[in-house]
């Protein structure tokens, strides 16, 4: 199954880094590193193909840098492509 992912990201206190992890539980097979400044919202998107035997897929965002307040994220989409 081909999956579409998209989200908006904005640094809270200057440049902030986040990593998108995609894949089955316990084995993220796709990693996307993203950096966004605090001046505006930035949209990121892409495609992820699940494995034939993958019945559960995790979509996770992990903060890589920045202040303790965390990253700003909005408008998350994770949907199958018809």
Q: How many other CB atoms are there within 10 angstroms of residue 67's CB atom? A: 12
Tens-digit pLDDT profile for residues 7-27: 999 988 888 999 999 999 988
Tens-digit pLDDT profile for residues 16-75: 999 999 999 988 788 899 999 999 999 999 999 999 999 999 999 998 875 667 789 999
pTM reported for the whole predicted model? 0.87
3 state SS of 68 = coil
31, β-bridge pairs: 21
56's tokens: 């559960």
């Amino acid at each position: 199954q081909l999956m579409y992912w998209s989200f908006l990201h904005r640094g809270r206190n200057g440049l902030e880094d986040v990593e998108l992890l995609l894949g089955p539980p316990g084995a993220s097979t796709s990693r996307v590193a993203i950096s966004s400044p605090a001046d505006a919202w930035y949209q990121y998107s892409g495609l992820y193909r699940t494995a034939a035997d993958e019945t559960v897929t995790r979509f996770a965002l992990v903060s890589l840098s920045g202040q303790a307040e965390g990253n700003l994220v909005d408008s998350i989409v994770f949907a199958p492509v018809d």
